[in-house]
Structures are given as structure tokens and as C-alpha cells.
Amino acid sequence: MSERKTREELKRERASKKRQQKTPAKLWIKRIILSVLAIGLAGFLFGVGLFVYYASSAPELNDELLKDPISAEFYDKNGELFATIGTENRKYVEYKDIPQDLVDAILATEDVRFFQHFGVDVWRTMGAVLANFRDGFGAQGGSTITQQVVKNSFLSNDKALKRKAQEAWLSIQLEQQYEKEEIFEMYFNKILMSGRIYGFATAAEYFFGKELSELELDEMALLAGMPQSPNRYNPFKNPERAQQRRDLVLDLMVQHEKITPEEAAAAKEIDVTTRLVPEEDRESVAGSQYDAFLDVVLNELEENGDGELLSEGIKVYTTLDPDAQTVVENVMNNAANFPTETIQSGVAVIDTKTGAIRAIGGGRNYGERGYNFADDLKTRSPGSTMKPLLDYGPAIEYLNWSTGQSIVDEKITYTGTNQPISNWDNKYLGKMTIREALYTSRNVPAVKTLQEVGTDQAKQFVSKLGIQAKNVYESDAIGGGDITLTPIQMAASYAAFGNNGVYNDPHAVKEIIYRDGSKKSYDNESVVAMADSTAYMVTDILRDVLSNKPGASGSRANVSGLDIAGKSGTTNYSSEDFEKYDLPSSAVPDSWFAGYTTNYSIAIWSGYKDHKEPITTWEERWLPQYLFKSIMSQISANVETPRFSKPSSVVEATIEVGTDPLKIASEYTPDELKSTELFVKGTEPTEVSDKYKKLELDPPSNLQAVPNEVGGLVDLMWDYTPPTIENSDSNDGENQQTVPISFEVTMTVDGGETIVFEPTESKHVTIPNLEYGKNYTFSVVAISDDVRSEPASTSIVLEDPIEEPTIEDPNIDDGDSEDGEDGEDGDWNDEGNNGDNNENDGGNNDGSTEGSDGGNEGEGANQPTNPTPPSKPGRGNNNNN
């Protein structure tokens, strides 16, 4: 029997087991810590080694490259150089001449510890590392002013480890070889400020017309904030953004105790636009023969985060077509093309298939003046050019509407309001197809169509066309809501209709090549925005806009020989604007035209820079169409332009307009109601309309031929009641309309050749130049277009007048009356036989009827001519058939 363990022994045994259990855990913790330290040390040593390796291949510092920006080069679509930007637009200033407030503003914004660090700001770098760890490598930079000078002078702009290592190494070297003030001076004079403006002194003169010593605090703060995004904060183009950035710089200056809160508050009270050089005094900056296009390129570089590369000697390959650009500039710079001296226009020419921007018209006689009407026009409404994009395109896409879909143009109001929707002519035309509604630009059908589609689906449709609408309202259906477009975006959106429904973002840059030979491609993804059937059906309607059809709204833009589709548009002032600016009733603020072929899509805006200055004449309204015609005709000359091709997903059918649902037109459908329309295959109607029957006309009734009291004339009279049919154009509730009838009158003489008189709408005519003793047969047929009734006929023989016998008075010598000179009847008889009533005086005076049977000109009785109004009837025999 084993001994029982004491309580103390058991206690010690349990403690021992616990110690044995804890030992492995502590051991693993120690091992992990040691491993981490070892890995960290190894990583550190590896990093040091890699840093040394990269640093060893860094370029040498070069005094010339440090102080002068390296010119950037721009090439057109053919690879030909067309612009160079660099040192030619720079005013150099020494550090001692820079105002201290400007130095403080720059340091507070860009590098507050500039005078303390050794070229690399460790604390800022650690913050950047944490941001990159959290958001991904390259999410945030930690570059100091020294590093920016190095990068802009020697290195490419990528965020690879090699470039960052070389940048840090060269920055440390730079700090050892140059004084802080010298480094700041380098930065101050070579930094890109905006577009083609380098250095703060150049920018001060360009934007404010001042020397550095003349700048106020608010102006210095604005300049200090620009290098982060030069074109975005350009006060000429974006004064609101520039002012927001300026105020942030002022806050940073307060935070770092460079100025007082009171000084910042006073500076913030100043409106940026009041400080800028007036537009009429702004100087054009040289450097490109194609300034408007180059400005678009610079904006695109900045939007893609590459704006600061311009001072690094990059080569930019663009989509510019120099021939098209030359055409646009020649048209824009010709004063004869514009109805007033101050009206402006913005033009965008885009490749229909790719979205590549080929030419830009930034304004009349455009220089680097700050406002590009093709790219910066972001606050103007598009008017009726929105109708294909927001209304009819979605209706065809989502509702399978055909181009013959019926819609009623009638008086309505916007949903939930009492505000009426009016058309441009203040009329309502009743039932019509959406084809007619669109090419004649009726507003009511457009709003009704958007209501049928729904704003959510309409918003979805335009989003695939590059139009990001925050909200869509019913007023957007006619381009008067919240959606605004630039000519560049409008041209790109319309291009999708001409590209089988495929949308491409508009772009001006193809590729960048850095100084070290590395490349960055600007890839543009194509998006299937709609079915090819939708694209073609909208295009086919928009062809009619440029046609000679009644009411076509864009016929002045048509170019003979080119298959073009397009849409015009105008916008309206609000009632408040009319009252506020005392505008005439004809005033509108904007006029648009967007059109495309299979090669080019062009959008043009016209108006005045000041929104309250109105367009008041039709010549001003039509200006975009005239410019479109001129530009499109010239850039398309000697270039093959294929016609739009109908896809297999679309079929044609001749429908009867107004049927609901649509039906095939019958052979009896009136021509004006027959329309050949397009349908998505499988949705075309098959039922034939039976609304209209074969038109049958009754013959005239009560036909009478009555001799006129004037000899040789017959009055022909009859009765007729026209039939009625369905009224195809009724807008007032009348469903029946009377068929228009005319009458054809024919005549035969003694059964001979038929003589046909001109048709008449009257029911009585007078037939002249008839001969006595002949049998005349008259026939009357009722006619409506190509439908004829059976004839009604009647015959008549004109009798000679009856001679009453003369009773001789035995008391009178009859010798006096032998010649019949005193015989009244003898005179009537002679007149009757001599044919003195004939229109032609060539008849025989002896009463002979020789030659009268053939109606030969100049002999006997003349052949009857066209009917004349009736006179009183005379004597004769009348036979009705």
C-alpha cells in the first residue's frame, strides 16, 4: 500500500506541473520576438543594400537642369511635333526678392519643416508609409520641396521604389551642395503653375498683372495653393475652386502661426475674381498654333495625375488631326461667319468610332485666355439636344418602341405642378409618330416619352453615355433641368448612336513617354451603351432633322452627299430672368447643334459668355447649324464616308399612322397616313388596319344641259353629295371628314371624238361655241385622287331659232322691205347664221357652214373651249342619261 502524499507535497506537485505547462508558451513568444527582430534586421539590411544599389545608379546633379524646367513636347496623331512647352514662358526671381508672406504660404502648404530637415522629412515620410499601408502603395506621397526639385529635374514621375530611393539619395546630396534658399529658389522658379505658366513670378504677372512685391496676402495664398493641381485651381477657368483652395492655404498659415486668424478672415472676404486681370487685358501665351486643343490635353494630363510632368521633359502623343484643327480655327476666326461681334461658340470634333478628339474650337480667335467654350462650358443646359439621349433613346431601348410609335402633342403640365409645357410655336399638333415629334422638336411628346420611360431608367441610359446625372427631372426631357454638358461630352455621347451603340470616353492623349524612355498609355475602354437597333433607329430619325421635310429643325446643317444625323437645341430663360434682366420675349441664352457621320461627331454651342446677354434673332439661333455645315463639309472632303448601315436586328414596315397598337397600312389607307417605320426585329406589327375601306364614288345626279339665251352656249348643271371618311388629322373631336371631289366633263359631237375639259370643283359649267343642229353628248365623272365614279351623261341638239312669219300690210309698198333692212328677225337670223358670236372672227359672212364640222381654226364655228360660268338658259332639246 503506497503512502499517501501530504497536502504540501500535492501542492508542490501541482505548481511544478503548471511551471512545466507555461514554459513552452514563453519559449514560443521569445522565439517569435527574436524571429521578428531577425526579419526586421534582415529587412533593414536588405533595404539598406537595395537603397545603396538604387542610389548608385542615380544620375548626377546638374546645375542647369536644377534651375530650368525641361520642355515638354506634344505630337499629333501622325507623330508630328506641334507644340513645345518649357522655359520660354518663365520669369526668374532670386530668393531675396521673394516676399516673406509668399515664402510662408508656400512652406505652410508644401513643406512646413523645409528649413529643419536634411532633404527628406522623416515624419512626413512615416505618415505617407502608413497611408500607403492602409490604402495601397502610391496612395500618398511624402515629398519635400527638395525632393520635388530633384524629381522634376532628373527622375520620372512613377512611384516605384527605385525612383523613390534615387529621389531620397539625390535630395540628401542636393541639401549638402546647395543652401536651403537656393533650393527654394529652384522650386519657386521652375514649378508648373498652370497650363504653360512656370514659376510664381510668371503666374503673378499672368493672373494678377503684378510684380511679386505688389501682391496682397490673398493673392499669395492663391498662388501657393496652385502647384498641387495647376489647371484645376486656375482662377481664370475655375474661380470657385481656386477660392476654396486659397482659403485652405490661409487656414494652414494660421495653423502654422504664419499669420493671425484675423488676417486670414480679412483675406477670405475678398472675391478671387475681383483680383484677376480683366479678360480683355489678358495676354495670350505663345507656344502652340493649336491653343484650344492643347488646353484640353493639359486638362486631361492633370485629371490623370500627370499635370506636374510637364516640367520633366515628357513627350505627349495626342489624337490631334492638324487638318481638322486648321479647318475649325479658320472657321472660328472668320468674322463673316458670325452674326454679331461678341457672340461666341465652342466646337468639338470627335472620331465617331474611337472617341478620339480630333479638333477643338475654344472660341473666336482663341489664345491661352483661360476659358475654353468646348471644354470649360460646364454650366449651360443642352436644350432639345437631350431628347434623343434622355427620352427617345431609352424608350426604344427599354420599351421596344418603334419609330412609328404614336404619341399625342397636347396641352399638359409637369407632374404635380400647374406649370404648362409649351412647344416652340405655342401650338399643339395632336397625334403623331415619335419620328415626327423628334425631327420637328416638339416638347410635349418628349416629356411624355420620359414619363413613360421613367427617370431611373433614363438616368441609367445616359450614364452609359458618359453623362453622370445626380438627378433627372421631367424638365431634363427638353434640356432645361439640372443636366449640363460641354460640347466635348455631347459630341462623344452622340457618337455612340453612330457607332452601333458603343460609347467611348472622349480623349485627347494616347501616350506619354518619359525622359528615361518608359511609357504610359492612356487606355480608353469601350462600353456597349445600347443595342445596335436602338442606335440605328435613333440615327434614322435624326437623319430627318436635317431633311427638307416640313418642320425639320436642322435642315440648315445638311451637307449634300453626306449621310448625317443630328439634333438642334435651344434653351430658355426663367420667368425670373426675363423680369430681372428685362429681356425681350424672343430671348434665349443658348443654341446648340450636335450631328455625326460614320467618321466624325461634332457638337457646337453658341451664345454669349455672360448668361444674361441673350440671343434674340434667328440668325444667332441658327449659328451652330451654319458652323456645323461649314466644318463638316470641309473635314469630310476627299474622305470616304460610309452611310449608316441598318443592322439585322432592325426591320421596316409601312404602318398606318395613329393606329394603337400599330397596324400595317392597308391599300386603302390614305397616303398621308402611310409611313415606313423601323422596328426591333420580332416586334413589328402583322395585323392590317381595316379602318379605311375602298373609296367608292357615286355618279353625279340630275345632270342637265340647258341652252343659254345667248346663242351657241349650253349651261351644264348637276347635283353631287360627297362621301365622308374617317378624319385622320382631327384635333377637335370631329371623326369624319368630307372627301374632296372634283369633276371631269367630256363632250362628243355627233358621236365623234371625245373632248375632255379641265377638271372643275364646281357643279355647273357653261360650254361655248356650239353649233346649231348638231347632237352634243356631255358626261360628268366625280374624281377623288385616282378614284373615279361612273359617268352621268346627257345629250342635247341645239335648234335654229324659230322665224315668225311676216304679215304683209296691203297698204304698204313691199318694195321697201325687199332687203329686209327693217326686219328685226332677219337681223337675228343673219347674226345667227354668220356666227358673229364666235370668239374667232374668221367665219364666212355669207352664213355658209362649210368647214364648221371639223372645227378648223378660222372657218365656221370654233371648237368649244374650257367651261365658263353659267348664264341664263335658252331653248333646246335635252336628253338626260
**Active site members:** 110, 384
Exposed, middle or buried, 338 (CB in 10 Å: 0-12/13-18/19+)? buried
- Rounded Cα distance between 740 and 783, Å, is 9
Q: Taking the CA atoms of the chain, what radius of gyration do you get in angstroms? A: 46
How is the chain split among helix, strand and coil, in percent rounded to 5? 35, 20, 45
- Helix (H) or strand (E) segment spanning residue 607: strand 600-607
Hey, what's the cell of 363? 472660341
CA 857 to the chain's CA centroid: 67
User: Helix 7-56 and helix 161-177: axis angle, to 10°?
Assistant: 70
- Helix (H) or strand (E) segment spanning residue 320: none
- Rounded Cα distance between 331 and 346, Å, is 12
- Helix (H) or strand (E) segment spanning residue 421: strand 420-421
- Rounded Cα distance between 836 and 623, Å, is 67
Residue 673 is given by DSSP the state G
Residue 516 is given by DSSP the state T
Ranges of beta strands (E only) in 24-162 are: 72-75, 81-85
Residues paired with 156 in a beta bridge:
none
- Rounded Cα distance between 876 and 284, Å, is 97
Q: Nearest Cα to 234, choosing from 273, 260, 188, 292?
A: 273
Hey, what's the cell of 762? 364646281
Q: Where do the H-state alpha helices sit in 213-335?
A: 217-225, 239-255, 261-268, 291-303, 322-332
Hey, what's the cell of 323? 487638318
Judge whether 99 and 215 are in contact, CB under 8 Å: yes
Which residues have CB under 8 Å from 326's CB, separation 6+? none
Q: Nearest Cα to 619, choosing from 584, 662, 588, 641?
A: 588
- Rounded Cα distance between 238 and 233, Å, is 6
- Rounded Cα distance between 326 and 323, Å, is 5
User: Helix 180-190 and helix 145-154: axis angle, to 10°?
Assistant: 60
